[in-house]
Amino acid sequence: MADERDRKNALEHAMRLLAARDHGRAELEGKLKKKGFDSNAIASAMERLDQLSLLNDRTFAGSCMASMARRRPEGKFKTRARLKQKGLSDEIIEETIAGYDQTELCRNAAERKLRTLSGPPDTIRKKLFTFLRNRGFDWSTIKETVNELIVDNG
């Protein structure tokens, strides 16, 4: 009786979490575990969510990537690490990252940052390189973007 109640409560809690925003399987399992549900209740909730097609790591990865690209564009290195922290598989992460143009993301991040920078072109160039590198973009993409956006006069 208590076991059945735990399963029902775990499912209800999972559905409340999913109503607020998408979650990946590992992330949702972690939240249920942290809430104190036992492994049987969690497994039962995950199974039911699968039956209802409410849990999809690919959809979750896509929505995470879209949100990151819109709010705070980052390169594939940082994006990969962030998605990995959410418990997504390497295969899903690579598929998701491949769907986004790294040059466009880099350019968006650089254009936003340029609005806040002032000074001589070489100083801006250095700051922009550092900023983009810290955002996880690869060297060739950074170089191409910075050279395109900053033209030295001399």
**Structure confidence by residue, pLDDT tens digits, 2-43:** 588 999 999 999 999 999 999 999 999 999 999 999 999 999
CATH number of the domain at 28, please: 1.10.10
| Separation CA 51–CA 55 (nearest Å) | 9
Q: What pLDDT, on the 0 to 100 scale, is given for residue 2?
A: 58
154 inside domain: no
Query: What's CA 101's distance to the chain center, in Å?
Result: 15
Same domain, 24 and 50: yes
pLDDT band per the 50, 70, 90 thresholds, residue 151: confident
Question: Is it the case that residue 147 has pLDDT exceeding 60?
Answer: yes
Question: Is it the case that residue 57 has pLDDT exceeding 80?
Answer: yes
Q: For residues 49 and 11, is the Cβ–Cβ distance under 8 A? A: yes
Q: What pLDDT, on the 0 to 100 scale, is given for residue 152?
A: 54
78 inside domain: yes
Mean pLDDT of 90-113: 95
Residues 6+ apart with CB under 8 A from 134: none
Question: Is it the case that residue 154 has pLDDT exceeding 50?
Answer: no
20 inside domain: yes
DSSP character at residue 24 = -
The residue segments making up the domain with residue 22 are: 2-55
Question: Is it the case that residue 75 has pLDDT exceeding 90?
Answer: yes
